[in-house]
Structure 1
Amino acid sequence: MTVLPADGLSLAAEFPDPAHEQWQSLVEGVLRKSGKDVAGSAAEEALSTTVEDGLITRPLYTSRDHAPDAGLPGFAPFTRGSKAEGNAANGWDVRQRHRLTDPARLNEAVLADLENGVTSLWLTVGGATGVPVSGLARALDGVYLDLAPVVLDAGSELDAAATELLRLYEERGVAAESARGTLGADPLGHAARSGSAPEPAAAVHWAERCAKEYPGLRALTVDALPYHEAGGSAAQELGSSLATGVAYLRALTGAGLSVEGACAQLEFRYAATADQFLTIAKLRAARRLWARVAEVCGAADAGAQRQHAVTSSVMMTRRDPWVNMLRTTLACLGAGVGGADSVTVLPFDHALGLPDAFARRIARNTSTILMEESHLARVIDPAGGSWYVERLTTELADSAWAFFQEIERAGGQAAALGSGLIGERLAATWAARSKDLARRKEPVTGVSEFPHLAERPVEREVPPAADGASGGLPTVRRDEAFEALRARSDAHLASTGRRPRVFLAALGPASAHTARATFASNLFQAGGIEPVHDPATVDASTAAEAFATSGATVACLCSGDALYAEQAEAVASELRAAGAQRVFLAGRPAEYPGVDEYVFAGCDVVAVLSSVLDRMGVA
């Protein structure tokens, strides 16, 4: 007799509970069919994936994957959110970034954003890349400063920009308790970007003033983006932010602020990537770690970290930039689910220059759709309770804490930046990731995978260059190696009227050669090399003529292993006799006379394409 639960629905109650060992047995059977004879935990390990920071994601997570108690939203350790209601009350703050230098144009863009869903403004002020401090009043003309929080990014012009913003509050009758936003003081972040020595005195001054006069205004930003944009991992980004936050706590408490008061002056800024689960775990881990810092400092209740998530510029591509809309949507989803208080979605054309009105509209609507149509903000901590997310949060927090301790042993964030320790660690991480990118183990859609040579370029106004040469941390992009190859192809097209070409010598019927011909076509186009696949099939008697009429200087054999054994040597010989400078074969390396090089899944695509362009004389 089946006993129904109280709600009257049996659902899966009639089925026996499966055991973990049963699942492993099924995995063993599948792996055995693919040639891997492993058993037990080894079978599970065969399906595991190593990601950044040495973390391993497994194919199955169960209640056996213990993690520390995440607590409740709004309570220490704040893993589940800094507020008890999460974002369920009003959703997250939609914060738009602006880099325009002309006050009138900036004002037009700002008003359009505020009228269409944006709830706070992030303004670059001063220098060659921002609106002049003297133009801030014009840029904010018509903005209700008591309703729209303003976040400044003024770098070395912090004093002038902060003074002007507070003057505007007073001039426009905004009560001190109604002022919201962040002055953006971040001496260590500025030092990381510029290579200059950090000067914390101004940051301390503004923190003291905000604490006394403007209770809703924060003075300091702990910006972790410089470390992410230099190629750092999630744990390195978190560790650097912790070290920076601790340095600011020391400076502020040394000036007389309480620990609680010092914590209230900080807003933390993190990158959100298209790896939505890693983004969720990173934001949850950041809150847990900062809560631990506050606890050690004797202010456990002040450990609710204020978070601003920004979609990653490292993941943005210049080729096929429309795909960036998908990337930023995933990143925004991860930031929202992860509990970020404010989210900035960079426009899809961010890597190309200043965004147009359409790009800004898509950026702000990304948050709107996720909140208003997908109802993402109606659930408090949507990822909470997921064994995978909870375990990933814990492992990432452990790795980040280890990096934070390394920085502290080196004397703190300022010392670690000055000695080059942080730069060295980030560079090593990026070098390892670059190898994965070059081998397409980390594919970049539209760039290293599925490139479109005939796409119409998207052109945007290029913003002014930053003042002077930067001696700080570098900025990297996932597409940079492939972008360099494509730029060479573009220059060749402009000077000769034609892209460099490769002839795809397809052997046998379509069923035999289609898979590898498609693979080779995709691979060569990633370097801007146009594939010629005409005629659809060749053999030793037709290869020379087909190659001669293709306009190519290199060729690639495409077929199955059986036909390679029969025809590869003869066709390669004919192609070489017809003038082919180099003959490739799509497949794993073997001994085929006449074949110079092999292209296959996992090969160093960047190295292959670079050498091919060199041989073709493409500068």
Structure 2
Amino acid sequence: MTTSSPPHDLLPLAGDFDPRTRQDWTALVADVLNKRRAEGDRLAPDAAAEALVTALDGGLGTEGLYLREDRPLGVPGAMPFTRGRVVRDGTVPWDVRQLHDDPDAARTRAAVLDDLEHGVTSVWVHVGEDGLAATDLATVLADVHLDLAPVVVSSTTDQPGAARALLDVVGDRPTAGGNLGLDPVGAALRTGTTPDLGPLAELVREAGAHDGWRAVTVDARVLHDAGASEVDALAVAVATGIAYLRHLEAAGIDPVDAFGHVEFRVSATADQFLTAAVLRALRRVWARVGEALGVAETDRGARTHAVTSLRMATREDPFVNVLRGTLATFGASIGDADAITVLPHDTVAGLPERFSRRLARNTQILLAAESNVGRVTDPGGGSWYLESLTDEVAEHVWTRFQEVERAGGVLAALEAGLLREWVDTAVAERDRLVATRQRPITGVSTFPNLADTAAERRPRVALTTTDAAFAPRRDAAAFEALRDRARTLERAAVTVRTIGAQRDFGARQGFVANLLAAGGIATTDDTTATAVLASSRAQYGEHGRAAVEELRAAGAERVLVAGRAAELGDAADLVDGEVFDGMDVAAFLGDLLDRLGAPAEGDPR
């Protein structure tokens, strides 16, 4: 016996609620933000909504509210390919690709086999001066079933050698495909040399003789790691891809055929929605290029390989990198990356060990298989926020791309200094935000843990570069340099005291202690410490003066006062005062380390 539900209409869940508009929302925002504002300082509704806008790199921004908009969403596998190159296979959602750059061939061979036995689906080997020797590639891949696992190579110093070594390994054997990793512009950017596109056409032809093989990987990570915004890195990547197509056409290779050889490698950051928007926008822009070239619609979708950002990785408190990598992987997943690589959490310290490689690969295996993120194609499609952000990224990328083209193409733009200008501008603004902690780095500039330091790892070989190189530049480097300075001091510790009862000003005391730890400066109860920092939110006044004298009488050589400028009064005239709110934290900590390392007045040292 079977039963069926009686027919019924859809429940009008919102039927008893009055419709609300953006104006209603902005009025509510203004009410909240104006609660603590003086009568003459109140924000109008539009200004209140503007106050909730968050600025992102590259001229992007996120608003406080996104409302439904009627827009054609499209479908995966069709123009404009925003929603994915193909419909995702829920059983194999994306290619789990692990990076191997250990120059020890025996170690790398064992690591490759270990990864493939535990869930990795393709192998990425970095070859050259800062990786494996090309002559060792056959040894490293000896245990790999090339008909089951795709193999890709990359190189900064010897791309033709790496490509030919891989082709020699492949020979006439049946394979699952792979990529020769040719990107002469990216290599030149990284080393500060002149791009050599000479070997490109011949190797493209050789790769084309093997089913499932591509020759070119445009690596947008080079500029991103050097400090460029996501928009600028993507625009240069698109311009680079077009430069390769033009070069190959001049060498007699049809642009339609060359188009299929291009893959893009992009950085995935802890901003999960921006990462997804970048991948979606890249496919849209590259599909437009394919359309202009006359590529068949089914072949216009860009192949993408997302790699967790080196720029966001930290040396200190490295396990926080696991959280960053998880967010980045999630963003790459909802952005429908074809392949994802998670850099091990200890990659900054040196060559990763077996445990960190296991943790890296399991990050995406768990997301794909156990959280079911990988079972849906374009899970963010239709999100008013993600769709709007994708539009904004695509528009900004296209505008920047046109600037490169007006400069004569990517090679001419590089020679003219346009790319350097973009990177330097982005770095200067980001450094300001990081130094003032308006862009906090967990575990480094905020919530630092002095007991959890970098792991000891075998060092990588340093890459030979010129002064023109776009070298990787991690956001945490400035604070990590402060930590290194602190470790060289005989005593990098201060005592923190409050002006008034600790129960009243403990929050300020904790704030100061965490701020100091960002520079590697510990707190101590010893009142004879080289520097003593008295903190308070109260008026400085007589209580503050008395507290300073008491601390000096106890043996303190220097007294610093932490508080708000309006609350400190004339404190700075009485002591070595510093005001913390809105300050350049990195500069302050550097100055304090100078004081801790220098003898105080009257010190016989």
TM-score (norm 2): 0.93
What is the CA–CA distance in structure 2 between the aligned matches of 1:284 and 1:566, rounded to whole Å?
A: 61
Which range is displaced more, 594-603 or 408-417?
A: 594-603
Partner of 1:174: 173
Task: Return closer, same or farther for 1:313/1:418 CA change in 2, 3 Å cut-off.
Answer: same
> Does structure 2 retain, via aligned residues, the 8 Å contact 1:520–1:586?
no
Q: Letter of the aligned partner of 2:81 in structure 1? A: F
> 1:43 aligned to 2:39?
no
Deviation at 1:89, TM superposition (A): 5.0
Deviation at 1:582, TM superposition (A): 4.3
Task: Return closer, same or farther for 1:5/1:187 CA change in 2, 3 Å cut-off.
Answer: farther
> 1:260 aligned to 2:256?
yes
Q: Deviations over 1:215-248 (max 9, x none)?
A: 3100011110111011000110111111101101
Q: Deviations over 1:438-486 (max 9, x none)?
A: 0000101111011112235411111222246564112101111101110
> Does structure 1 retain, via aligned residues, the 8 Å contact 2:500–2:543?
no
What is the CA–CA distance in structure 1 between the aligned matches of 2:570 and 2:163, rounded to whole Å?
A: 70
Q: Letter of the aligned partner of 1:61 in structure 2? A: Y
Paired residues for 1:195-206 under 5 Å: 195-206=192-203
Partner of 1:545: none
Partner of 1:438: 435
- Of residues 553, 570, 586, the one that matches 1:592 is 570
Deviation at 1:5, TM superposition (A): 9.7
Paired residues for 1:572-611 under 5 Å: 572-576=548-552, 578-588=555-565, 590-593=568-571, 594-611=574-591
Partner of 1:295: 291
> Does structure 2 retain, via aligned residues, the 8 Å contact 1:243–1:408?
yes
Partner of 1:54: 59
What is the CA–CA distance in structure 2 between the aligned matches of 1:165 and 1:48, rounded to whole Å?
A: 49
> Does structure 1 retain, via aligned residues, the 8 Å contact 2:191–2:465?
no
Q: Deviations over 1:90-148 (max 9, x none)?
A: 21100000011121111100000000010111101132x22222211111111101111
Deviation at 1:300, TM superposition (A): 5.7
> Does structure 2 retain, via aligned residues, the 8 Å contact 1:568–1:592?
no
> 1:455 aligned to 2:455?
no
Task: Return closer, same or farther for 1:8/1:385 CA change in 2, 3 Å cut-off.
Answer: closer
> Does structure 1 retain, via aligned residues, the 8 Å contact 2:269–2:327?
yes
Deviation at 1:410, TM superposition (A): 1.5
Task: Return closer, same or farther for 1:156/1:608 CA change in 2, 3 Å cut-off.
Answer: closer
SS at match of 2:142: coil
Q: Letter of the aligned partner of 2:514 in structure 1? A: N
> Does structure 1 retain, via aligned residues, the 8 Å contact 2:318–2:454?
no
What is the CA–CA distance in structure 2 between the aligned matches of 1:218 and 1:202, rounded to whole Å?
A: 15
> 1:569 aligned to 2:545?
yes
What is the CA–CA distance in structure 2 between the aligned matches of 1:416 and 1:435, rounded to whole Å?
A: 27
**Unaligned runs of at least 5 residues, structure 2:** 1-5, 600-605
Partner of 2:82: 79
> 1:319 aligned to 2:296?
no
Partner of 1:219: 215
What is the CA–CA distance in structure 2 between the aligned matches of 1:453 and 1:137, rounded to whole Å?
A: 44
> 1:527 aligned to 2:516?
no
What is the CA–CA distance in structure 1 between the aligned matches of 2:177 and 2:214, rounded to whole Å?
A: 8
Q: Deviations over 1:495-545 (max 9, x none)?
A: x3xx3222212122333211100110011111111123x4xxxxxxxxxxx
What is the CA–CA distance in structure 2 between the aligned matches of 1:358 and 1:470, rounded to whole Å?
A: 36
Deviation at 1:38, TM superposition (A): 1.8
What is the CA–CA distance in structure 1 between the aligned matches of 2:414 and 2:588, rounded to whole Å?
A: 36
Which range is displaced more, 608-617 or 86-95?
A: 86-95
Q: Letter of the aligned partner of 1:572 in structure 2? A: V
Which range is displaced more, 36-45 or 138-147?
A: 36-45
What is the aligned length?
586
Partner of 1:411: 408
> Does structure 1 retain, via aligned residues, the 8 Å contact 2:159–2:184?
no
Which range is displaced more, 569-578 or 160-169?
A: 569-578
What is the CA–CA distance in structure 2 between the aligned matches of 1:280 and 1:253, rounded to whole Å?
A: 32
Paired residues for 1:118-197 under 5 Å: 118-127=120-129, 129-170=130-171, 174-175=173-174, 178-197=175-194
Which range is displaced more, 321-330 or 283-292?
A: 283-292
SS at match of 1:616: helix
> Does structure 2 retain, via aligned residues, the 8 Å contact 1:97–1:344?
yes
What is the CA–CA distance in structure 1 between the aligned matches of 2:487 and 2:466, rounded to whole Å?
A: 28
> Does structure 1 retain, via aligned residues, the 8 Å contact 2:563–2:581?
no
Q: Deviations over 1:287-316 (max 9, x none)?
A: 111111222223262321000000000010
Q: Letter of the aligned partner of 1:231 in structure 2? A: G
> Does structure 2 retain, via aligned residues, the 8 Å contact 1:587–1:598?
no
What is the CA–CA distance in structure 1 between the aligned matches of 2:581 and 2:74, rounded to whole Å?
A: 45
Partner of 1:555: 532
SS at match of 1:184: strand
Deviation at 1:29, TM superposition (A): 1.3
Which range is displaced more, 444-453 or 416-425?
A: 416-425
Partner of 1:23: 25
What is the CA–CA distance in structure 2 between the aligned matches of 1:126 and 1:43, rounded to whole Å?
A: 54
**Unaligned runs of at least 5 residues, structure 1:** 535-548
Q: Letter of the aligned partner of 1:53 in structure 2? A: G
What is the CA–CA distance in structure 2 between the aligned matches of 1:190 and 1:443, rounded to whole Å?
A: 31
Partner of 2:603: none
What is the CA–CA distance in structure 1 between the aligned matches of 2:199 and 2:456, rounded to whole Å?
A: 39
- Of residues 95, 98, 104, the one that matches 1:96 is 98
What is the CA–CA distance in structure 2 between the aligned matches of 1:5 and 1:303, rounded to whole Å?
A: 45
Deviation at 1:207, TM superposition (A): 1.0
Q: Letter of the aligned partner of 1:233 in structure 2? A: S
SS at match of 1:78: coil
Q: Letter of the aligned partner of 1:165 in structure 2? A: L
- Of residues 346, 369, 374, the one that matches 2:371 is 374
What is the CA–CA distance in structure 2 between the aligned matches of 1:51 and 1:156, rounded to whole Å?
A: 34
Q: Letter of the aligned partner of 2:34 in structure 1? A: R
